[in-house]
Amino acid sequence: MKLQRKNRLRATALGVIAVSSALALTACGSDNNSGGGSTGGGGGTTTGAASSVKCDGAKGQLLASGSSAQKNAMDLWVKNYMAACKDAQINYKASSSGDGIVAFTQGTVGFAGSDSPLNAQQVEDSKKVCTGGGQGINLPMVGGPIAIGFHVEGVDTLVLDASTIAKIFNGKISKWNDEAIAKLNPNAKLPDLAIQAFHRSTDSGTTDNLTKYLSAAAKADWPYPPAKKWAASGGQAASGSGDVAAQVKQVNGAIGYFELSYAASQSIKTVDINTGASAPVKATAENASKAIAAAKIAGTGKDLALKLDYTTKADGAYPLVLVTYEIACDKGNKPATLAAVKSFLSYTAGADGQKLLTDASYAPIPAEINAKVIETVNSLS
């Protein structure tokens, strides 16, 4: 694809997302111009969608980066928060989970977003920037389904199971009218068309969660260990969730994976997954919530990393989910940004911030787990 054409596609995709974000903000009532509450920084509150924002002295610039899966939620959160806290500026760079963790362990951001929790080595690395005996901890903030988006002209609905998804992304199924796909879709008119599978080019928590699902639910057909880096040969790569979605939107015969809000904002059709439940499960925030609600806290102390069940067969539970964590120091945060980190994350974890997730096609964190997130955010030092 020529560079000029690619840039036009990217601009179009971002424009659609921006329009979607604006509509979501309107639906949430985030326009604070007519409210009676204070919108000033340094401890004021505001009305509307961000009515629970407490600035608590937050001021200056807070840099953060990482997960692109949560970008659409983060855009809404930042806009609402900065409407309330005029003295604070939140600058979140959506790149990838891997980039965010690197930035955090190098001490260049106040917090990072990652679709996979810190591993043991990353926790050890974080101790260099979390002073006074502190370390990086995982705070689950955003949930949602990883949608398998597809573009096959003439096909409006598509059912796949873990085995066929694994074979498609591993290059073992190369045509849309393959017998395995046809068996799952007896009423579909599947064309004799080459499958063009798109994956992430950079280390990605979305990739990590997809491969955890494939390793758990289709181990015989996915011979690679779960990882943020794409391991299978073949396919085509794109740099972020937005770029993968743009390619799927454009290319007939394409399939890719990305957070549901990218599919919703660009009207991309998504795969229903046959899990062995009574009916195939659609990629919706509600169905993802059913799967995430069964998650268990695997972290210790203030670390709230979760263990997800990717092999669930519960009716209506969508198994291919991710949880995006905000990663911060439990103690030893930089004094200049501590107030902003606590204030902003308190808003995102609070009732208004979590309600916004549903409106934007994400899944809120289950209440029992979220209560612990709020408690932990309040304890950051």
Q: Do residues 166 and 173 lie in contact, with contact meaning Cβ atoms separated by under 8 Å?
A: no
Cα–Cα distance, 374 to 322 (Å, whole number)? 20
Percent of the chain with pLDDT strictly greater than 90: 85
pLDDT class of 10 with cuts at 50, 70, 90? very low
| CB-count burial class (<10 Å; 0-12, 13-18, 19+) for 119 | exposed
pLDDT (tens digit, 9 = 90+) per residue, 165-189? 999 999 999 999 999 999 999 999 9
Q: Do residues 321 and 147 lie in contact, with contact meaning Cβ atoms separated by under 8 Å?
A: no
Cα–Cα distance, 145 to 241 (Å, whole number)? 13
Determine the 3-state secondary structure of 147 from DSSP.
strand
Cα–Cα distance, 184 to 376 (Å, whole number)? 45
pLDDT class of 22 with cuts at 50, 70, 90? very low
pLDDT class of 372 with cuts at 50, 70, 90? very high
Strand partners, 65: 93, 112
pTM of the model as a whole = 0.80
Cα–Cα distance, 118 to 168 (Å, whole number)? 29
What pLDDT is attached to residue 187?
96
Structure tokens at 288: 């993802």
pLDDT (tens digit, 9 = 90+) per residue, 310-368? 999 999 999 999 999 999 999 999 999 999 999 999 999 999 999 999 888 899 999 99
| DSSP code of residue 85 | -
pLDDT class of 26 with cuts at 50, 70, 90? very low
Residues whose CB falls within 8 Å of the CB of residue 208, separated by 6 or more in sequence, listed in order: 97, 115, 116, 226, 227, 228
Cα–Cα distance, 62 to 43 (Å, whole number)? 17
Structure tokens at 224: 């690679």
Structure tokens at 358: 């549903």
Q: What angle do CA 48, 50, 53 make, to 5 degrees?
A: 135
pLDDT class of 51 with cuts at 50, 70, 90? low
Taken as a whole, the chain contains a residue count of 381
